[in-house]
Structure 1
């Protein structure tokens, strides 16, 4: 009788162990599927996708230039993504945050059902927090120095780009403390209004091998003095863009891009380290 009871207890223990292992396996598989689904992002050409991280974004690497990515203005832990090209090939995005964590995402094109927002920390709704940039505290001072850079006589030459009677050039680069000021001229010599979709600033590789990923670091303006949303026919606009101080690493370049809304007159202007040697110094106001 005792032997039968002991045998029954052993079978019972084995059954419990089996159930625990089974539940653990199923749980792990479900988490994997959720994680896999969460890491796949569908991007649209006409809608913007936002990713909220628990900590500030320190660096990012994107596998294709057909995807546009930038930090939300004035916020350190939100990335905004959009397809820069219809039906782009599947690519990836890698992000490192200030707590040392690495996030990887697979990006696909889906103009009908894009992913609109993701919480990369998968936190409770009431725990979400925006990490605002400290630069906002100095907004008035930055504005005053931007206006000063707008009127300065110091000029640089040779930094221009032209396409289909649209011209973009940088004719002044200045610095004060930890902010650089770029005076940008945009002219429209055509008879068709030029509506600006995006004006981007970023550091990227000088040359891109087909076998390697392209790394682009978006630099978000802290302030700008003018409205670049439209340049009417046969007109021009000059404005100053204030950017956080930066240097250009070896084999990299600083690029400015302007995209025409619903058009193809896109412009790109590249600046190298040698163009930043003789910066104009903005003295005290």
Structure 2
């Protein structure tokens, strides 16, 4: 189907917004769609999948907004109902029954995530999901996000001695945890210099222990499943914390897990080394 360009003006539409809770069952939310007007649905996480029940409606993500879906009728005055299904990055599953209305009662619907009681103290946890995304393995994406937020909120010091410090930058592992074959690593980056530390990229790699600091050979990348508070800059005299969720990971004694933090347009690169013994000592959540 040819891609249609819809108006994306939410400032006025939000005046008519209807707020609903993230669906805890599969009961469809009823929506009204029109031929000449666009309905915007705001989700608590980026949208990864959209399915429409028939050609009588059209739907797609709004340009520049990964969590906004715009919906409208493809034909005037269609009879009966059709359906719309949306899956979000955090595993949320949402289903809607769409009926035609020439003048819909609302032009925006906002789906709110279920936030923890302490959501103001940490990045918000997403709505409880119904879909188990393959990339996360055994654990529900929503559970991973909530666990990341809780580790961030508690800010415990459960690990000592896993750190590197040079050029006025210190990267320290504060905790290593495990739950349902997901490894959580809590990291603090401190900048004690007077020059901001802007992060170009960070990555985890498994490398030979003896060669880890001397060569890029014999290295395997480990891509995080999710990240809480993915830091881009640590300003002068400030600290930032990040929590990573990694897939199940064990390594032999002759290898190490490296966290590399590389400075953009600079040379203050940092590498933290986590041994096999330290990974196996991960605290159960």
- With structure 2 as the length reference, what TM-score do the two structures score? 0.49
Choose between structure 1 and 2 for higher RCO, CA contacts under 8 A separated by at least 6 residues: 1
